[in-house]
Amino acid sequence: MVENRPFLTMLSHLVVILGVIVIAFPVWMTFVASTHSQETMLQSPIPLLPGPHLLENYTKVLTEGYGRVGSTAVTMTLTNSLIMALGVALGKIAISIISAFAIVYFRFPGRMYFFWAIFVTLMLPVEVRIVPTYGVVANLGMLDSYGGLIIPLIASATATFLFRQFFLSVPDELTEAARVDGASPMRFFWDILLPMSRTSIAAMFVIQFIYGWNQYLWPLLITTKESYYTVVMTVSRQANVVDSVPSWNLLMAMAMLAMLPPVLVVVFMQRQFVRGLVETEK
Amino acid sequence: MEKRVTFNERWLPYLLVGPQMIITLVFFFWPSGQAIYQSVLIEDAFGGNSKFVFLDNFINLFSDAGYYASARLTVVFSFLVAAIGLAFSLLLAVMADRIIRGATAYKAFLVWPYAVAPAVAGVLWGFLFNPSVGIIAWMLQGIGIEFNYVTNGNQALLLVVIAAVWNQISYNFLFFLAGLQSIPKSLIEAAAIDGAGPGRRFWDIIFPLLSPTGFFLLVINIIYSFFGTFGVIDALTKGGPGHATNILVYKVYNDGFRGQDLGGSSAQSVILMIVVVALTFVQFRFIERRVHY
């Protein structure tokens, strides 16, 4: 800082701490709710500090699940979410990195058409064209399958653009050297380009993992079998069932489990996360 | 930008763009084409027969008061989400930027809401404001405010806005902080030497230099509140009570899947597509300028 103003520094700390508290409060209350018994959670006001039922609640949702509209063990929905998130992240990276490679390192007829075809997909989120996309997936017989959960979501341009941007910054001398040494294009890709792209791949992975994990509408529409339910959609489904007495403790334990993996990814891969966010917007 | 050195292969590049092109064609162009095609058809309720009606679906839409109400609501909603979200995150970013010691720790505490699914964010806030057990609803009752988002439309809208802002706050914060940190310290020091206090420096130097970031975030937040908030709304209010939170993207889904009005829903899809394309265009035009401000 340019000058020493203890009062302003104090104020800054105070404001940021208040902000952190406000932002963390919903998650704190969710955690608290997940550690009490059902009876405690039915009295208003509910407690503000954790109770003794943490293990019991989490074991119950993980093994039996919880629900008034068919309960699915959370271990299973977590596994499905993990498969979906990994599939979306890795699938996107795989198809994008090779198409970016083709567009940057080759001259071929129709190249610009491909480029623009990919570019327009940048514009339309799946929510906008949800009804016809559902129709296409149903026609292809991909409802209730991991393929149906994953493949339609990996068609997106962000990753292609990120890798294109990165490839353009790779010095031409490397390509020349590889060509002089007689390396084939794929050899160049595997041995030089791919190792160099590690940080971009990691940044992309974090962003797309979160994107895949947090999908809601898509799995909600195309899965009817419980064995394909993802954790995010079950949390919201159960929360939406009115009547009967809700077991807030179990529902909130489920919500905690649904949040935990992506939050851990962001917290532990913070550098890659920030990089990914900033770079996908370039 | 083009590469000077390239490879000469006849078939390999097609093989490489192939997977992405196939997926784009099947899951992007085909459904988008379908949406446009269906938007000029009326399908009878039992399926099977459909009739070409040209622009009738659009005309119906534009003569439907409900559609205007939903469009107006979407504008109000996105204005609230963008304004509150940007103001709050700017405040946090400016304050965090002042802090030298412990700044990274604070950052770690502020970035994670991005990782929470919108649908889960909706459930969390719904729990806090739940009329029977919600702790905030209880506190509000203590000071004489009856909060029931299940029946009160305005309160439902407010709650959806809060949850949406919360979910987007870390994104805004990170970009504002990056923008603040890229402002040359020498400018601020020069102003300080000239006797400008922190408030003056903020409004006369930092704020104008931050405006490109702010404008970029404004567009992103509008796009987010138009389309990214589906999960929040579905988890919290399902567009209700009445139509109090039935924004356009939710209406597309509601009319298409619940109302089974394929033509009308497709026409809405087509209009939304045009809106997104326009917004994206604005964003790209702007990003070009952002590079050399």
Q: What is the pLDDT of residues B163-177, one digit of tens each?
A: 999 999 988 998 898
Q: Do A273 and B111 touch (CB under 8 A)?
A: yes
CA dihedral defined by B146, A33, A211, B105, rounded to 10 degrees? 100
pLDDT tens digits for range A10-38: 888 888 889 889 888 888 988 888 888 87
Predicted confidence band of residue A2 (pLDDT cuts 50, 70, 90): low
Q: What pLDDT score does B146 carry?
A: 81
Q: Using alpha carbons only, how large is chain A's radius of gyration in Å?
A: 24
pLDDT tens digits for range A117-168: 887 776 677 777 777 888 888 888 888 888 888 988 887 778 888 888 889 8
The candidate with the shortest Cα–Cα distance to A119, out of A99, A136, A89, A147, is A99
pTM of the model as a whole:
0.88
Predicted confidence band of residue B35 (pLDDT cuts 50, 70, 90): confident
pLDDT tens digits for range B41-80: 766 555 556 667 777 778 777 878 788 888 899 999 999 9
- Residue among A128, A140, A265 minimizing CB distance to B269: A128
ipTM over 0.90: no
> Is A22 in a helix, a strand, or coil?
helix
Predicted confidence band of residue A43 (pLDDT cuts 50, 70, 90): confident
Chain-wide mean pLDDT for chain A?
83
Contacts of A213 in chain B (CB under 8 A): 117
Preferred mutation among B124, B147, B287 to probe A, highest tally of A CBs within 10 A? B124
Contacts of A175 in chain B (CB under 8 A): 3, 5-7
- Residue among A48, A108, A151 minimizing CB distance to B23: A151
Rounded Cα gap, residues A101 and A192, in angstroms: 12
Q: Do A99 and B169 touch (CB under 8 A)?
A: no
Contacts of A171 in chain B (CB under 8 A): none
Q: What pLDDT score does B286 carry?
A: 65
Chain-wide mean pLDDT for chain B?
83
Check residues A71 and A170 and name the one with the higher pLDDT: A170
- Residue among A20, A128, A135 minimizing CB distance to B34: A135
Q: Do B106 and A16 touch (CB under 8 A)?
A: yes
- Residue among A44, A134, A273 minimizing CB distance to B133: A44
Q: Name the residue of chain A whose CA is nearest to B252's CA.
A: A128
Q: Is B288 exposed, middle or buried (0-12, 13-18, 19+ CB in 10 A)?
A: exposed
The whole-number average pLDDT for the span A180-203 is 89
Rounded Cα gap, residues A58 and A139, in angstroms: 39
- Residue among A33, A129, A281 minimizing CB distance to B32: A129
Q: Do B116 and A214 touch (CB under 8 A)?
A: yes
Q: Do B112 and A136 touch (CB under 8 A)?
A: no
pLDDT tens digits for range A85-103: 999 999 999 999 999 999 8
Predicted confidence band of residue B218 (pLDDT cuts 50, 70, 90): confident
CB atoms within 10 A of CB A102: 26
Minimal C-alpha gap between B267 and chain A (Å): 10
Q: Do B29 and A117 touch (CB under 8 A)?
A: yes
Contacts of B10 in chain A (CB under 8 A): 108
The candidate with the shortest Cα–Cα distance to B229, out of A153, A217, A235, A156, is A217
- Residue among B4, B96, B277 minimizing CB distance to A123: B277
Q: Name the residue of chain A whose CA is nearest to B162's CA.
A: A23
Q: Quote the distance between the C-alpha of residue B122 and its chain's center.
A: 15
Is residue A50 pLDDT above 90, yes or no? no
Q: Do B188 and A95 touch (CB under 8 A)?
A: no
> What phi and psi values does residue B63 have, to the nearest 5 degrees?
-105, 10
Contacts of A230 in chain B (CB under 8 A): none
Q: Do A152 and B27 touch (CB under 8 A)?
A: yes
CA dihedral defined by B53, B58, B59, B61, rounded to 10 degrees? 130
| A119 φ/ψ sector (left φ>0, alpha ψ -120 to 50, else beta) | alpha
pLDDT tens digits for range A235-256: 887 777 654 556 788 888 888 9
